[in-house]
Amino acid sequence: MDLFVMVVGASGIGDGGDKKYNYKVVAWTNEDDRRQTKIVTTNADPEFREVLHLPQNKAASFLNLEFFSVNSADTDAFFCGRANTALPMKTNANVYRKVKLENLETSGNIVTVGYLEVYLGLETG
Give the model confidence (pLDDT) of 93-118 as tens digits.
889 999 999 999 889 999 999 999 99
Domain range 2-21+28-123, CATH architecture: Sandwich (2.60)
**Domain chopping of the chain, boundaries:** 2-21+28-123
Are 125 and 53 a contacting pair, CB within 8 Å?
Answer: no
Q: What is the pLDDT of residues 4-52, one digit of tens each?
A: 999 999 999 887 788 899 999 999 998 888 999 999 999 999 999 999 9
Q: How far apart, in whole angstroms, are the C-alpha atoms of residue 14 and residue 29?
A: 27
- What pLDDT is attached to residue 125? 62
Evaluate if pTM is beyond 0.85. Answer: yes
Q: What is the pLDDT of residues 43-98, one digit of tens each?
A: 999 999 999 998 887 778 899 999 999 988 888 889 999 999 998 888 888 899 99
Instruction: Name the strand (E) or helix (H) holding 101.
Output: strand 94-104
Q: How far apart, in whole angstroms, are the C-alpha atoms of residue 9 and residue 97?
A: 11
- What pLDDT is attached to residue 90? 82
